[in-house]
Structure 1
């Protein structure tokens, strides 16, 4: 097995929205804001090469939305999925599976592109199966008013229309030991219904793709949950369970949204679970 970070593009989000009730004087120490109160956010995806499969976890925002839409998110840097895949020696047509942690636009927008004459949409990875779970699919395609702006039909429905959509079953205990994609999955309902957190055994390590269960290293303290979470108290409980296990089993946490701390480990302290070490992708995914 080989693992590759795939940089889908950087953007900015309001720091207050990202940290909910936590005061700026506190979160600004770990995630400094600019003059507009915006903090750096990454869309760092992960590519798994195993046997004859190439599995891409999440796909970022994509590039099919309007300039007005992207203007809300202050895109920065020159990353893209195609460029990042090419740097690793791959092409989007090589991808066999696209696993989506959840269907918010910044996690799945790159899964769908315009067709050639821009009259409609098509899947961006024509040879791939697209994986979500049935509960989350129903949640995303019949969105509540709070999340409606995050679940964009043009990012979601073409997957079903293509015939490439597949569902992963969720067991009663909320944890899949070994999924159809050969890695474990932790299901979390605090941020959105049935978000899936991949847990990948890589050499002698467990690499956990944290999605929005832990957006950045600055979100480690339990009360530090985003204003986007639909069930913040549940998010705290799920973080508590997962982060304690991460310490006990020495998990390496791959941070999708942290622009400056790609992979971290945790430790117990008098204040609870806190940051232990920060690693570059090259140090861990070699």
Structure 2
């Protein structure tokens, strides 16, 4: 097995929204804001190369939205999904599986593109199976008012229309093994219904793709949950379980949204779970 970091593009989000009730005087120390109160955000996806299987975890924001839409997110840097795949030695047509932690636009927008003449949409990975779970699919396709702006029809429905959409067999508990994809998954409901966090065994290490359970290293303290979470008290309970497991088992936490810290470990302290070490992807994936 080989793992590849796939940088799908950088953008910015409001720091207050990203840290909920935490005062700016606190979060600005770890995630400094610009003059517009915006903080740096990454879309750091993960490619798993295992035999003839190439599984891409999340696909970033994509590039099919309007200029006005992207204007809200202040895109920056020169990363792109295709460029990162090429650097890893692959093309999007090589991808066999696309695993989506959840269907918010910044996690699955790259799964669907315009068709050639921009009259409609087509899946961006023509040879891949697209994986979600039935509970989350129902949640995303019949969205609540709070999340409606994050679940975009054009990002989601074309996957179903293509015939390439698949649902993972979900266990009754919050943690289970995916026989379809070959890794463990932690299911969490605080941010959105049945978000999925893959746990990948790699060279004796457990690498956990954190998605929006832990957007950045600055979000480690338990109360630091985003204003986007639909059930923030549940998020705190889930984070407590998740981070205790991470500290107890020395998990390597893959930070999808942290533009400056790529992989971290955490530890128990008198103040609770706190940052232990920071790694570059190449240090862990070599």
Fold shared, TM-score > 0.5 on shorter chain: yes
After the TM superposition, list the runs of 4 or more consecutive aligned residues in structure 1 that deviate by more than 4 angstroms. none
CA deviation vs aligned residue, 1:189-246 (integer Å, no higher than 9, x gap): 0000000000000011000000000000000000000000000000000000010000
CA distance in 2, matches of 1:71, 1:201: 38
Aligned to 1:39: 39
* 1:12 and 2:12 correspond: yes
Aligned to 1:243: 243
Per-residue deviation at 1:116?
0.4
Aligned to 2:152: 152
TM superposition score normalised by structure 1: 0.99
TM superposition score normalised by structure 2: 0.99
CA distance in 1, matches of 2:253, 2:180: 22
User: How well do the aligned residues superpose, as a CA RMSD in angstroms?
Assistant: 0.5
Aligned to 1:277: 277
Per-residue deviation at 1:179?
3.4
Per-residue deviation at 1:169?
1.8
Q: Is the 8 A contact 2:56 2:97 kept in 1?
A: yes
Q: Is the 8 A contact 2:15 2:39 kept in 1?
A: yes
Which secondary structure does the structure 1 equivalent of 2:240 belong to?
helix
Aligned to 1:220: 220
CA distance in 2, matches of 1:264, 1:71: 31
Q: Is the 8 A contact 2:168 2:178 kept in 1?
A: no
Per-residue deviation at 1:174?
1.4
Q: Is the 8 A contact 1:179 1:185 kept in 2?
A: no
CA deviation vs aligned residue, 1:235-267 (integer Å, no higher than 9, x gap): 000000010000111100000000000000001
Aligned to 2:179: 179
Aligned to 1:77: 77
- Write the mapping of 1:1-286 to structure 2, written as runs, cut at 5 A: 1-286=1-286
CA distance in 1, matches of 2:20, 2:193: 19
Which secondary structure does the structure 2 equivalent of 1:177 belong to?
strand
* 93-102 or 164-173, which deviates more: 164-173
Per-residue deviation at 1:180?
1.1
CA distance in 1, matches of 2:144, 2:250: 37
Per-residue deviation at 1:172?
1.2
Which secondary structure does the structure 2 equivalent of 1:180 belong to?
coil
Structure 1: gaps (5+ residues)? none
Which secondary structure does the structure 2 equivalent of 1:265 belong to?
strand
Report the count of equivalent residues: 286
CA distance in 1, matches of 2:240, 2:189: 13
Cα pair distance change 1:178/1:159, threshold 3 Å = closer
Q: Is the 8 A contact 2:169 2:178 kept in 1?
A: no
